[in-house]
Amino acid sequence: MPRPTALVVHQVSRPVGAPTAADFAFLEERVPALAEGQALVENIYQSVDPYMREEMDEGGWALHAPLEGRTLGRVVESRGSALPLGALVFHRKAWRTHSVVGPGEATVLPDFAGVPLSAHLSVLGGTGLSAWVGLTRIARLQPGETIFISAAAGGVGSAAGQLARLLGAGRIVGSAGSAAKVEHLTERLGFDAAFDYHDAPIADRLREAAPGGLDVYLDNVGGDHLEGAIDALRDHGRIAWCGAVAQYNHLQDPPAAPRNLYDVVGKSLRLEGFLVRNHLDARPELYDFLVPHLRSGAVVPDETVVQGFENVVDAFLGMLRGANTGKMIVQLSEAP
């Protein structure tokens, strides 16, 4: 009996500046026969994330080869008890309709009744875990404190805003790229104040939104956002640096450091960067804290879901342009 085929995406060129669809190619590949312990996964959801832009440059993803990324799928063929037929699993062999995984390459998802499967890529996935780690382990947000979150309408930012509220933040301020996203933050996600970063210098907007100053900044942008936050932070404030989307398309010519960087010394601020992959042990903490709120409806996963594998490149490029609110996810096949 012939083996099934899978549709896959490869990167075929290195972008200069912003990537385009021409940097990718869709291919068809025959699925190999399974070795002992392997499973064939029909992929259901794939995440597209800002960090992938860095992977497109030299030293990242190999050209003309399979790409990686966070993916959820269903086991449709198995030669191992660790990945049983029908199991819903998480793995990183993304950008394809079907993936062959071994027991060390896929994890069977916990069964949280009443929680949508896609949440394992948004608030319960690496996106939510980044927000959780940034708030609890790096910034150590305390009840009553004022926090500023940049790129607040994106995946990490929207999760961080909801988590900050549950953790007892006194005032939550966010930046976003349009008036519609600002309204989304204040009307749907519970931010106390938000602003369009195009409208005025960040420092000026923060003085208006947080006249008493900031205690914590969760940075997803870098650049002028970091400079503005340093200006607004009170003495002994904390910065958890998660991402720098402002410079991902300019890695060969990054923006200058914030002009007020030495104020980190003058104000006794603490600035710490982190990679979520170094904090995977925090996932049980996130589950224990957040799953009850998801079941009660107090937290709703903030997601933009694009339908169809044929649109995975467009979804990735759209995410880089800010076309999404919340986590950008591509649905490849029918969810259970």
Average pLDDT for consecutive 10-residue bins of the chain (336 residues)?
Answer: 88 95 97 96 97 94 97 97 96 98 94 95 96 98 98 96 97 97 96 96 96 97 94 98 75 73 97 96 98 94 97 97 95 93
pTM attached to this predicted model: 0.91
From 3.40.50.720, 3.40.50.11720, 3.30.450.30, 3.20.20.70, which CATH number describes the 126-277 domain? 3.40.50.720
> What residues contact residue 263 under an 8 Å CB cut-off, 6+ apart?
230, 231, 269
Q: How many CB atoms lie within 10 A of CB 260?
A: 16
Strands 214-219 and 233-241: parallel
* All structural domains of the chain with their residue ranges: 5-122+302-331, 126-277
Nearest C-alpha neighbor of 217 from the set 120, 124, 149, 129: 149
Residue type at 168 in one-letter notation: G
How far is Cα 264 from Cα 50, in angstroms, rounded to an integer? 27
pLDDT at 243: 87
Q: Give me 74's structure tokens.
A: 């269903």
pLDDT at 148: 98
Q: What is 5-122+302-331's CATH number?
A: 3.90.180.10
> What residues contact residue 139 under an 8 Å CB cut-off, 6+ apart?
147, 216, 217, 218, 238, 239, 240
pLDDT at 1: 58
